């Protein structure tokens, strides 16, 4: 079999699924990333045979040899997207082809095979059809978070690209990533450690980038902050991104600016936000932004909002940016703030309450 889509999926139903009562209890208060549905997708790849054995199987632990390369060299990439329940009961996801292509970009950087876009999208359809009852009700600001990932799956301690790989998809009902999505989050400005260097893996969605953010994240938490902001590793002047999301700044003339760099993740949420702005006649810029521009702009009132954007975070306003030597205070958020209006627009499209003018939705069930 070569890397051609579509593959035939087999389905093995979970013989011991979560009861309706327990699922209802989970969906009432899902948290983020703590509970999982009854099934998962697995697809195998070998260097000689390509993609094969696409299957939906009961959700459960994996049995891996301790010598498996994944435990030693972190050859892994992942994605994050969501399934939304519309008022008519149908279930849709948002721009899945963009996630599929980003997974290919990440896989290429990590010397993993590129999963065909159609197979990626079909894996979402297959899992969500089987676990459809896990998609929270419409109008509750909840969704089913979909976590596709790919791991080296070969028992071998030499350092080389794995020749057997597994792609998987799991799903987790999700509420807001931050406890109250309208309450500004405080951010710690990290200056000792970097997230990514030039030519590194910064633009890939790989576990290593997130692992590298954990120590600074602990410092952030010790300083009362929920996220950490990284500057570029080379000059330590340019704003890159947060531990798990992109940054957007709003200027007093309404211009929306997002930092540009080869070492930040190409966020689907950020791209969608910029497209919505452009369509509404709002000026947008993707360009390098220094921390001094942010600091001085906020102090002088030229920068009126700072926002964290990502699939999990959606659009979350930033309150204070803290550093041992200074703080940047962003003005209070009101119902009329750009972040609140654009969040309502974006989630309105995702939940089917606003017209999908860009054709971004993909029906899953
Ligand atoms: C996402 O937004 O989907 C991510 O993978 C980021 C993580 C903070 C959950």
Question: Is the model's pLDDT at 2 over the cut of 70?
Answer: no
Question: Is the model's pLDDT at 320 over the cut of 70?
Answer: yes
State the average pLDDT for the chain: 95
For the chain, the domains span 10-174, 185-350
* Topology at the third CATH level for domain 10-174: D-amino Acid Aminotransferase; Chain A, domain 1 (3.30.470)
CB count in 10 Å sphere of residue 83: 28
The residue contributing the CA closest to ligand 1 atom 7 is: 244
- Is any atom of ligand 1 closer than 6 Å to the C-beta of 312? yes
- Sequential DSSP letters for 298-310: HHHTSEEEEEEEE
* Ligand 1 atom index nearest CA of 311: 2
- Is any atom of ligand 1 closer than 6 Å to the C-beta of 244? yes
Q: Does residue 332 contact residue 326 with C-beta atoms inside 8 Å?
A: no
H or E element in which residue 141 lies: none
Section 267-294 average pLDDT: 97
Residue 282 CA to ligand 1 center (angstroms) comes to 27
Residue 310 CA to ligand 1 center (angstroms) comes to 7
pLDDT-derived band of residue 181, with 50, 70 and 90 as boundaries? confident
CATH for 185-350, options being 2.60.40.10, 3.20.10.10, 3.40.50.300, 3.40.50.620: 3.20.10.10
Question: Is the model's pLDDT at 158 over the cut of 60?
Answer: yes
pLDDT in tens, 41-81: 999 999 999 999 999 999 999 999 999 999 999 999 999 99
Could you tell me which of 35, 342, 316 has the C-alpha nearest to residue 174? 35
The reply to whether 10-174 and 185-350 are identical in fold is no
Round to whole Å and give the CA distance between 302 and 318. 16
Kindly provide the residue ranges of all beta strands, DSSP E only, lying in the chain, ordered along the sequence. Answer: 10-11, 39-46, 50-58, 76-78, 81-85, 91-94, 143-152, 164-174, 185-190, 227-231, 239-242, 246-251, 256-259, 284-287, 303-310, 314-322, 327-329, 361-363
Structure tokens at 289: 């932004």
pLDDT at 44: 98
Question: Is the model's pLDDT at 349 over the cut of 70?
Answer: yes
* Ligand 1 atom index nearest CA of 145: 3
Residue 313 CA to ligand 1 center (angstroms) comes to 7
Assign 14 to helix, strand or coil.
Answer: coil
pLDDT at 180: 83
Question: Is the model's pLDDT at 5 over the cut of 70?
Answer: no
**Residue 166: strand pairing partners:** 44, 151
pLDDT at 346: 97
Greater confidence (8 vs 179) lies with 8
Could you tell me which of 290, 255, 297 has the C-alpha nearest to residue 274? 255
Location of structure tokens 């997002």: 258
pLDDT-derived band of residue 4, with 50, 70 and 90 as boundaries? low
Question: Is the model's pLDDT at 1 over the cut of 50?
Answer: no
pLDDT in tens, 109-141: 999 999 999 999 999 999 999 999 999 999 888
Assign 188 to helix, strand or coil.
Answer: strand
Give the single-character DSSP code of 281: T
Round to whole Å and give the CA distance between 189 and 97. 33
Using CA of residue 267, residue 269, residue 274, residue 278, what is the dihedral sign? Answer: positive
Location of structure tokens 């990932």: 149
Give the single-character DSSP code of 238: B
Question: Is the model's pLDDT at 176 over the cut of 90?
Answer: no
Q: Which stretches within the chain are classed as H helix? A: 20-28, 70-73, 96-109, 117-130, 207-212, 214-222, 268-279, 291-300, 338-350
Q: What pTM was computed for the model?
A: 0.96
pLDDT in tens, 208-231: 999 999 999 999 999 999 999 999
The residue contributing the CA closest to ligand 1 atom 6 is: 244
* Ligand 1 atom index nearest CA of 244: 8
């Amino acid at each position: 079999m070569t890397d051609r889509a579509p593959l035939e999926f087999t389905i093995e139903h979970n013989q011991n699924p979560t009861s309706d009562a327990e699922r209802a209890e989970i969906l009432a208060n899902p948290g983020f990333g703590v509970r999982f549905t009854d099934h998962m997708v697995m697809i195998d790849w070998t260097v000689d045979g390509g993609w094969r054995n696409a299957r939906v199987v009961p959700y459960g632990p994996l049995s891996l040899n301790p010598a498996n390369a994944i435990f030693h060299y972190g050859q892994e990439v992942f994605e994050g997207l969501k399934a939304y329940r519309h008022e008519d009961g149908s279930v849709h996801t948002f721009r899945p082809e963009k996630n599929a292509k980003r997974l290919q970009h990440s896989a290429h950087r990590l010397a993993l095979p590129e999963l065909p876009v159609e197979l990626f999208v079909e894996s979402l359809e297959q899992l969500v059809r089987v676990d459809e009852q896990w998609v929270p009700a419409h109008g509750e600001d909840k969704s089913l978070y979909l976590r596709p990932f790919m791991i080296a799956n070969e028992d071998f301690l030499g350092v080389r690209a794995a020749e057997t790989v597994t792609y998987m998809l799991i799903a987790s009902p999700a509420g807001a990533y931050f406890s109250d999505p309208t309450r500004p989050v405080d951010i710690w400005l990290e200056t000792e450690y970097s997230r990514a260097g030039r030519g590194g893996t910064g633009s890939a969605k790989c576990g290593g980038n997130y692992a590298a953010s954990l120590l600074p994240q602990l410092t952030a938490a010790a300083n009362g902050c929920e996220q950490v902001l990284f500057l570029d590793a080379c000059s330590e002047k340019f704003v890159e991104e947060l531990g798990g999301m992109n940054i957007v700044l709003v200027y007093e003339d309404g211009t929306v600016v997002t930092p540009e760099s080869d070492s930040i993740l190409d966020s689907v949420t950020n791209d969608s936000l910029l497209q919505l702005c452009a369509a509404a006649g709002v000026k947008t810029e993707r360009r390098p932004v220094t921390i001094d521009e942010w600091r001085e702009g906020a102090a002088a009132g030229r920068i009126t909002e700072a926002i964290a954007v990502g699939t999990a975070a959606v659009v979350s306003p930033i309150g204070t940016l803290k550093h041992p030597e200074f703080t940047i205070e962003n003005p209070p958020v009101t119902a009329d703030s750009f972040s609140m209006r654009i969040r309502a627009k974006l989630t309105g499209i995702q939940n089917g309450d606003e017209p999908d003018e860009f054709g971004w939705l993909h029906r899953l069930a």
